[in-house]
Each structure stands twice: as C-alpha cells, then as structure tokens.
Amino acid sequence: MKVLVTGATGYIGSAVAGRLAERGHEVVALVRPKQVEARGVPGAAQVRYGDVTDPASLAAGDVDAVVHATAPTGDEAVELAAVDALLAGGAKVVYTSGVWVLGPGDADETSPVNPIPFVTFRAAVERRVLDGGGVVLRPGIVYGGGRGIPALLTAKAAEHGRGRYVAADGREPTWPTIHIDDLAELFVAVVERGESGSIYHGVAEEAVPLSAVAKAAARAAGLGDAPVEAWPVEEAAGDLGPGFAGALAVGQAVRADRTRKELGWAPSRPGIVADLEAGAR
Ligand SMILES: NC(=O)c1ccc[n+]([C@@H]2O[C@H](COP(=O)([O-])OP(=O)(O)OC[C@H]3O[C@@H](n4cnc5c(N)ncnc54)[C@H](OP(=O)(O)O)[C@@H]3O)[C@@H](O)[C@H]2O)c1
C-alpha cells in the first residue's frame, strides 16, 4: 500500500514509517520543511511538505492510507480541519489519539470518552474520523528507545536527584503503557486490516504503578535504589505546565482485549520497568 505518514519525524511517526517500509509498503512522509533536513525520515520513499495548520497542504488523494501522528495543536478547529482534509482524499485514515481521551479509571475499546482537560479537543476529532470512515488508534504511554514521557521521568530524576511521579492529592497513579516497537506493529496491522469506523487500543500493560516506573527511572538516572516520592501536581505544574502535569497524574487501567483479538496483535517487548532499567546498564 502507499501510506502517507504525518508527524513522520516524531517518536511514533518515525517508528511507524520504518515498520511500514520494512513490511514493503511505500511510505510518503509528510513533514514540516525545516525539520526534515535536520533529522531525515528513514524508510520514506518520498518526502512531502505540509503543516497541520494549513489543510490544503494535507491533500492525500494519491495514497491508500494515512497514518496521522502529529503533535496536537490543542486547537479543536485546526485539528478538525486537518482530519477533514485527510479524509477528503478518500484514503483510509488512521488517527493517533491517546488513552487520555478516556479519562481516569478503567476502560476498554467500548467505553464512552471522558477526555481530561489536556485533550478535550480529541473527543470531537475522534468522532469526525469515525463518522468519516476512518480508524482511531489510542496508544497508552509510549516507552522504548530512550524517548517519550518515561525518558522525561529519567531526566527529571537526574535533575531532582531522586525518582518522582506526579500525583494529585497524594494518590499514586497507574498508567497503561506500550513499547514503541509493539505500537509500530499495531499501526501496521491497523493500516492493513483495521475496520473502518473502529477504535483500537495500543496498550500492553494495563495499569503500571507509577512508584515502580519512578524507581526504574531513578536507577536509569544512576541514583541506585533511593526511595522515590510523590511530586504534588501543583508543584509539577510550575515545571511541566498545568495541563501536562495534570495529565501525568491521571490514574488509568486500559484494556486492549478486542484490539488483540480482532487484529491478532500480540505485544511482546519488555515492560516499561524492565525497559527503563535496561537503559541504566
Ligand atoms: N508519546 C506518547 O506517549 C503518546 C501516547 C499517546 C498518544 N500520543 C499522540 O501521538 C501523536 C504523536 O506523538 P509523538 O510522541 O510521536 O510526538 P513527537 O515525537 O513530539 O512528534 C510530533 C510530530 O508532529 C510533527 N508536528 C508538530 N506540529 C506539526 C504541525 N503543525 N504540522 C505538521 N507536523 C507537525 C512534528 O514535526 P517536527 O519535526 O516538524 O516538529 C513531529 O514529527 C501525538 O498526537 C500524541 O499526543 C503520544
């Protein structure tokens, strides 16, 4: 298949582009002009320039599928115009959402959305994609390759001299997580076999306690087995911004049973704690 990948220089987009190419698909990478010269897009047969804020630049009439994986602008109107432009080309659009659209608590692919404040725009964008015959893929917190939010915890542990996790009212959150390579394989499966109008969850471990993640991050930062501590969300907000800090404090348990069954997807990479600790060696 010929597949356009937006956000192709990013953490998720670059992994997906590489995996699609390995599977023999023709990857067209959509990138912003300045960045690509600096970073390149491995696996891309073609590079095209575009920007989410300029819907005309997203025209995708000549491809079979689109993986849309750009960093969110946070502006619902901009995000809706972008997916409208991608859907208008008639390709199968796979929209990268995220588990935060589900809100706190337990959820699976059939649960109603209840977005946390950081991602309120996602509810309308998901709806537009599904109504337009596209597919929604919600990754959990992505780790692996020394990038992503967990790598940020390692950097923060090094900065603070101890492992910390953001917590609201002292409550320890749990995160649904996924290794970047398992996630890239899921994207390929969704591009190839995902049903129009379906929601899929990219989650391997449903609810990892954050004290365990912070402990592994501290070890990765060379701090050994020193005790970890809760970082009050109000304090973290000053460093990370209130929206992002609030998101990190959300406790979730997200299942992906339907996704595994429907697509025959079986994540197999080491869990988040083992992955972070491996970075320490
Ligand atoms: N990482 C996670 O744990 C996670 C979990 C769930 C959902 N998600 C979602 O997955 C998507 C991708 O996340 P990521 O972690 O891969 O982010 P990332 O590493 O920050 O990559 C974001 C990509 O979006 C591109 N981009 C940013 N603004 C753009 C614009 N206006 N027009 C076109 N491209 C633009 C960036 O291009 P430049 O190189 O030009 O900056 C980059 O390629 C996001 O929507 C994110 O919310 C991520």
Whether 200 and 136 have beta carbons less than 8 Å apart is answered as: yes
- Quote the ligand 1 centre to 70 CA distance (angstroms): 4
Determine the 3-state secondary structure of 77 from DSSP. Answer: helix
pLDDT (0 to 100) of residue 166: 98
> Does residue 36 surpass a pLDDT of 90?
no
Determine the 3-state secondary structure of 66 from DSSP. Answer: strand
Ligand 1 binding pocket, CB closer than 6 Å = 7, 9-13, 32, 35, 51-53, 69-72, 96, 98, 139, 141-142, 148-149
Residues whose CB is less than 8 angstroms from the CB of residue 98 and which lie 6 or more positions away in sequence, other chains included: 119, 122, 138, 139
138 burial type by CB count under 10 A (0-12 exposed, 13-18 middle, 19+ buried): buried
Whether 159 and 112 have beta carbons less than 8 Å apart is answered as: no
pLDDT (0 to 100) of residue 40: 66
Q: Crossing angle of helices 148-160/272-280, nearest 10°? A: 50
Whether 214 and 281 have beta carbons less than 8 Å apart is answered as: no
- Quote the ligand 1 centre to 7 CA distance (angstroms): 6
> Does residue 247 surpass a pLDDT of 80?
yes
Q: How far apart are the first and last CA of the chain?
A: 40
Percent of the chain clearing pLDDT 70 (strictly above)? 97
Nearest CA to ligand 1 atom 24: 70
pLDDT (0 to 100) of residue 226: 85
Report pLDDT digits (tens) over 144-177.
Answer: 999 999 999 999 999 999 999 999 998 999 999 9
> Does residue 280 surpass a pLDDT of 80?
no
